[in-house]
Amino acid sequence: MPELPELETTVQELRDKIVGRKILRVWTDFGKMFRPSFAEFQKVVVGQVIKDVSRRGKNIIIKLDSGHYILVHQKLTGSLLAGAEIKNPYLHLILFLDKGQLALSDLRKFAKVVFLENLEDYPDYKNLGVEPLSREFTLEKFQEILRQTRGKTKKVLMDQNKIAGIGNIYSDEILFEAKISPLCEVKNLKEKEIKILYQAIKKILKKAVVAKGTSVSDYRRPSGKKGNFAKFLKVYQRENESCPRCGAKIKRLKFGGRSAHFCPRCQK
């Protein structure tokens, strides 16, 4: 599933391509992805001008000149693509603009497109936690989150109601950077470890944004190109490979429906 760096990359590139463009018509072959319905979506968005593109957690938010919003959650295999004429076998939504197109590609058809009058009324938006690259995400804020939380470190990092935007890929990489086990209970973290973990969150996410995200599966940038962070991955999807830090074999564990990749020697 695309995470914060992939979504941030998508926002940055879409702003250059679709802001100021008018929506002339829309097409879909999969009406089930729309909330409340494709008919309502089509009725409202056609004729509107795109005023802005932003991100909140793992959601892409397109603001229209009417003041309404299109919220896109790409789920497991979704990618937003923009260009003059988009060719892709998995397109399920196309917005035909006065210059170019905006399309949603989704192999597994899990993506969700929601038309909203008020973002704050939408539970999947208003219940999101702090943005980890925002000014509000201070060390003190992180400490407060951990004090109020119980559970294993990886699970807490991925809790979207606590911290928005981190998923499987970056939780693995952050914890490796911090030398902390994904199975460690947050209540057992020492003050020094919390600071190191906080710094690792900032470092890994910023580095991944610069690299335009990670394309280990279906994620593509709006241009159709891959992200470049895969070459920097230290543990994610590297089961049984040698740890780049100590040489031990990287392990993969499943817990709570999730996978965790980590070094059993480096990460305690």
Q: Hey, which residues are catalytic here?
A: 2-3, 58, 258
**Token code pair at residue 100:** 């170019």
Q: Look at residues 12, 27, 24, 19 and name the one whose alpha carbon lies nearest to residue 103.
A: 27
Contacts of the segment 211-217: beta carbons below 8 A, 24+ positions apart:
211/5, 212/5, 212/9, 213/2, 213/3, 213/5, 213/6, 213/8, 213/9, 214/3, 214/5, 214/6, 214/169, 216/169, 217/77
- C-alpha angle 258/204/244, rounded to 5°? 80
> Exposed, middle or buried, 20 (CB in 10 Å: 0-12/13-18/19+)?
middle
Please list the residues that pair with 72 across neighbouring strands: 60, 113
